[in-house]
Amino acid sequence: MLILNMNKFFKLVLSLVLVAIVLIVEGCNGRKTENKEKKSKTIVESQPITDDELMDKVQRQTFDYFWDGAEPNSGLARERIHLDNIYPSHDQDIITIGGSGFGLMAILVGVERGFITREQALERYEKVIPFLEKADRFHGAWPHWLQPSGQTAPFSKKDDGGDLVETSFLIQGLLTVKGYFNSDNDREQQLRDRIQKLWEGVEFDWYTKGEDVLYWHWSPNYNWEMNFPVGGYNEALIMYILGAASPTHPIKKEVYEKGWALNGEITKDTTYYGLKTVLNHYEHDKSPVGPLFWAHYSYLGLNPNGLSDQYADYWKLNQNHARIHYKHAVANPNNFKGYGKNCWGLTSSYSMDGYSGHRPDHDLGVISPTAALSSMPYTPKESLDFLRYMYTEQDSLIGKYGPYDAFSLENNWSLPRYLAIDQGPIPVMIENYRTGMLWDLFMRNTDLQNGLNKLGFTHIKSKDTNYN
């Protein structure tokens, strides 16, 4: 009996031991699996963000400036958005005409990148166009600024009327939108017709004042007192090309040759940081090179790749312009903190003392992110390096609408503020680098092609891409 009980006891003990062993093994295996999962997760999380992901991110944030941040009554772009909510006078809701043109193109980027739907974009444009139709215009040209009512907000005392340069930036955007919405349905046809009417209403020929040059401004109160004939290379090439392209109020070829090109004097270039400037960047100034927005504003839709005339190869001009700025930052003759291969780019932007036109020979130690980012078609590696630097090493300088307008590591200065004219070129030019979409859409416009041909430009034919 005792022997039987002992046998049962040993069997019980053996069973318990076996169960314990099984549990221990399973538990160990479970922990091993869990550890493997954790290890795998850590590896995934530590993977660096890709260039495409970085471009998606900055495009989305800068697009949001023109989508979520738009002036609500018009759907157009606010001149500025300050996240610190400190504004000069009434500028919180002032509408910028040129910046709105950039914004109309940025919204197309939003559709193609899946940020919004085509239908949402169409609805926004159907809000914008009626506002522009009713807003103040002066011989077809909108003013630099508009109030949410559609009335003029003077940019300065005598700048209270038509602004032909800003109007040209807007038309560039409108014609690009017209090229995108090319379906046969009534809504899109009506949108195209209304855009065409706005475009045909701009009296480019009237802004010559009967001379062989285009004037920037006209005021109903001060007439031509601003007295700004536009000549010599700057941001306004698109104005002259659109002027030649106008189907209703075109300028003569002589206006381009004598006014813009200064009877050939525009070709007096210089060499700076070992690179040709191609054209003379200043008519009344010895400065060798301009701020980088000159390489962006006219070329959001106008494709400089393969674009040339009797005066310049515009791809070489813009590429050298961006490279000069890059080389300046690398050389860093002023020994400014932070300047180098990953931190470069000067343009007109906010500065420590308000607003300033930064360029290599007028360098205040202020970097404007739009300068390098919007130059991505010309300097892809250098621009991508800057993008990565901003988002991985200077992320405190980034807010809801992308990198802040400007910063100075030298002076430990930045403000959480944005300007439409600086944020707008970023998503557009990055998209032109990635797909060429905005270039394709604008360059396929028949009126534009006629204008380019009239002025003797050589240009690349757009791709037959369907963006529907």
Q: What is the pLDDT of residue 249?
A: 98
> What pLDDT, in 10s, does the model give residues 143-192?
999 999 999 999 999 999 999 999 999 999 999 999 999 999 999 999 99
From 225, 211, 223, 206, select the one nearest 139 (Cα to Cα). Answer: 206
pLDDT of 279 reads 97
pLDDT of residue 30: 37
Question: For residue 90, what pLDDT is reported?
Answer: 67
Among residues 350, 293, 299, 360, the alpha carbon closest in space to that of 324 is found at: 360
Q: What torsion, rounded to 10 degrees, do the Cα atoms 286, 292, 298, 304 define?
A: 100
Identify residue 313 by its one-letter amino acid code.
D
pLDDT of residue 463: 80
Q: Is the model's pTM score more than 0.85?
A: yes
Residue ranges covered by each domain of the chain: 64-454
- Please, is 395 exposed, middle or buried when counting C-beta atoms within 10 Å of its C-beta (0-12, 13-18, 19+)? exposed
452's CB contacts (< 8 A; 6+ apart) are 241, 244, 245, 459
* Rounded Cα distance, 376 and 373, in Å: 6
Q: 398, 404 in Cβ contact below 8 A?
A: yes
> How many residues appear in the chain?
468
450 vs 196, 246, 453, CA distance in Å? 15, 9, 5
DSSP designation for 54: H
List Cβ neighbours of 280 (8 Å cut-off, separation of 6 or more): 232, 233, 265, 266, 267, 268, 269, 270
Could you count the other beta carbons within 10 Å of the beta carbon of residue 464? 7
In CATH, 64-454 is 1.10.8.50: no
d(CA 113, CA 439): 16
* Nearest-angstrom CA–CA distance, 163 and 143: 5
Measure CA 329 to chain center.
21
Q: Round to the nearest angstrom and report the end-to-end CA distance of the chain.
A: 91
Give the position of tokens 């479970």: 30
46, 93, 336 from 156: Cα distances, Å: 52, 17, 34
Measured CA to CA in angstroms, residue 181 lies from 119, 192, 373, 428, 448 at distances of 10, 7, 27, 17, 17
Predicted pLDDT of residue 91: 78
> What digits encode the pLDDT tens for the residues 46-92?
688 999 999 999 999 999 999 999 999 999 999 999 999 999 876 78
Which parts of the chain sit beneath pLDDT 70? 1-46, 90
Dihedral through CA 336, CA 339, CA 340, CA 346, nearest 10?
-120
Q: What is the DSSP letter of 298?
A: G
pLDDT for the residue 46 = 64
Identify the three-state secondary structure at position 293: helix
